[in-house]
Structure 1
């Protein structure tokens, strides 16, 4: 019987690769832990997009973020919630753009926040990552909106006392328009179905 060197070499190679993989898996490369601070300003939904509350919204985020940044050591990433700013942050003509760029330039931490993003007259629910080192902005737009994924007004949910099915809006924006979904209450939104 003739020896099968090709099979023997293949098996030795497979065993060597498995041994190397097991060894590397047990001794991962050292990494620095990432410190993250989240800020929840608790701005009431109808005040968030009302121009008369814009300064108050900015001040809440500034004050709470400065508290988080005072930690020792400070966080590497500061996270603000979805729809945290009253205007699209990438629109350079808005107060939100000026606030976020000025604030992120002053701190030594990356900032991730949720915002409305407008491109080619389409509104998107997006997440922005602003790098503190070079003010570079990365964007992720939500591709698939999930119904009732954010919050739903409990008064709009039928109960056992309802005599017949009813259809009523879940949210009103600051201008009094009725909306079916919570994610689209910005006065700029054209995509959310409105009811009269």
Structure 2
């Protein structure tokens, strides 16, 4: 029965297989956070290869059929993995609501072109041996994923390697060859099962070898975790504030004072005297906070001498340019306060924080999705080092999804990654959990702990092996008092 279904899957024509490929791509997303059902991705990818390989061997017009087959699976994969983007348009309201369906569909459709062209390239190679052919398919899709993460601005969200939860044994291999290396191995594993499903007796070697490799990675990762079971701590005491403010309320002027009060009262809560640095998320308080004296006075009044507050702000320079920034406000021993460090976001979200061809948009006076300004300006600085605190690699929101963003060649080297984000844009969806898993991989790759404050996301501390030490629910109204782990 199974072999008969497989034969029909290889030979069927018409629209049915096209829509089944979209469904199969959507099912494969169950491998990602928060589900982590890795076999769902592995099996789906194996069936995807079986279909692509069969179509590539058709005698009549295989090129077009292969291209659209590759596109269909990828479209289902990206649509199911990125549907949460639509929440941001609903939150913003107004003119953005009507373009929400378009954008939710267009982005996956464009990203799917990477896999469609990769499938077309595979079809041109015409390798006869099924086992070798499957491995080549994994390599070309892996190359497409690397290109997706680098071409134009790059968008390496939900790379296949992320189906293994960060902080678990197999994820530790990212410390050896990064998430792109793990992605390639994951694709090889999925593709290797394709020929085995067709004929297990002839094609058992490749899946056996791949499983042995992953078994070895699991054992090595387990040993690595055991070796570092006790995380070494520094003497830096941190408070991360989680204020649980709905994104729709941030646009309500009548709610503005409540937002300021909630953050300052949480900052003042019991135990503040032992804290060195307080972290608020990206966009904690809307508007040009640094230019509002009454707000700055309220913020400073919540701090003690010698303490530093780090928060995300929209700021404006003397030339009228806007930046999405991370600012540090330090209170001196005499009670005086001032701006002690500043980081301007370097990787801006297209259409969310700037418009390609932004000059025209600015003339139209149309705000970006994430702020009431036409476009942010890209920053240039990297290291974030308020006086008296260890240097950090500052990363705002989705900057942390880019492997290699942390520059370990600087002097001094960063001691940790400081990530602030506003995950409230994406509501109660899978988006914040996918974001968290990618954050955990940055810790594994760099050997640095991560301190994270994410509005309606998962806030807390992640150790250098990607393990969650102290964190909280995205929707909690609380503070997390913890100690900064030391880097490996």
Q: TM-score range by the shorter chain?
A: 0.5 to 0.7
Alignment-derived partner of residue 288 in structure 2:
88
Alignment-derived partner of residue 265 in structure 2:
63
Residues 1:50 and 1:191: Cα distance change in structure 2 (over 3 Å): same
Within the candidate set 304, 312, 316, 1:114 is matched to: 312
Superposed CA offset, 1:26-64 (max 9, x none):
xxxxx9711010102121112113211111101111221
Residues 1:62 and 1:106: Cα distance change in structure 2 (over 3 Å): closer
Alignment-derived partner of residue 21 in structure 1:
none
Distance, in Å, in 1 between the alignment partners of 2:272 and 2:289 is 29
3-state DSSP of counterpart to 1:90:
helix
Within the candidate set 33, 37, 52, 2:254 is matched to: 52
CA shift for structure 1 position 131: 0.6
Mapped contact 1:81–1:113 kept (Cα < 8 A): yes
3-state DSSP of counterpart to 2:248:
helix
Instruction: Indicate the structure with greater helix content.
Output: 2
Residues 1:90 and 1:147: Cα distance change in structure 2 (over 3 Å): same
- 118-127 or 104-113, larger mean C-alpha shift: 104-113
Residues 1:66 and 1:113: Cα distance change in structure 2 (over 3 Å): same
Distance, in Å, in 2 between the alignment partners of 1:139 and 1:73 is 25
Within the candidate set 217, 229, 242, 1:40 is matched to: 242
Give the ranges of 4+ consecutive aligned residues of structure 1 lying more than 6 Å apart after TM superposition. Answer: none
Decide which structure has the larger Cα Rg and report it.
1
Distance, in Å, in 2 between the alignment partners of 1:38 and 1:44 is 18
TM-score by length of 2: 0.24
CA shift for structure 1 position 102: 3.4
3-state DSSP of counterpart to 2:274:
coil
Corresponding position: 1:191 with 2:390: no
3-state DSSP of counterpart to 1:102:
helix
Distance, in Å, in 2 between the alignment partners of 1:110 and 1:65 is 11
TM-score by length of 1: 0.55
Distance, in Å, in 1 between the alignment partners of 2:374 and 2:322 is 8
CA shift for structure 1 position 142: 0.7
Residues 1:33 and 1:84: Cα distance change in structure 2 (over 3 Å): same
Mapped contact 1:105–1:132 kept (Cα < 8 A): no
Residues 1:180 and 1:149: Cα distance change in structure 2 (over 3 Å): closer
Pairing of 1:130-149 with structure 2 (within 5 A):
130-133=329-332, 134-137=336-339, 138-146=341-349
Unaligned residue ranges in structure 2 (runs of 5+):
1-232, 354-365, 377-488
State the superposition RMSD in angstroms: 3.0
Mapped contact 2:290–2:315 kept (Cα < 8 A): yes
Pairing of 1:12-31 with structure 2 (within 5 A):
none
Corresponding position: 1:129 with 2:328: yes
Within the candidate set 253, 264, 279, 1:79 is matched to: 279
Unaligned residue ranges in structure 1 (runs of 5+):
1-30, 151-177
Distance, in Å, in 1 between the alignment partners of 2:255 and 2:272 is 32
Residues 1:123 and 1:72: Cα distance change in structure 2 (over 3 Å): closer
Within the candidate set 276, 283, 296, 1:100 is matched to: 296
CA shift for structure 1 position 180: 6.3
3-state DSSP of counterpart to 2:316:
strand
Mapped contact 2:367–2:375 kept (Cα < 8 A): no
Residues 1:148 and 1:87: Cα distance change in structure 2 (over 3 Å): closer
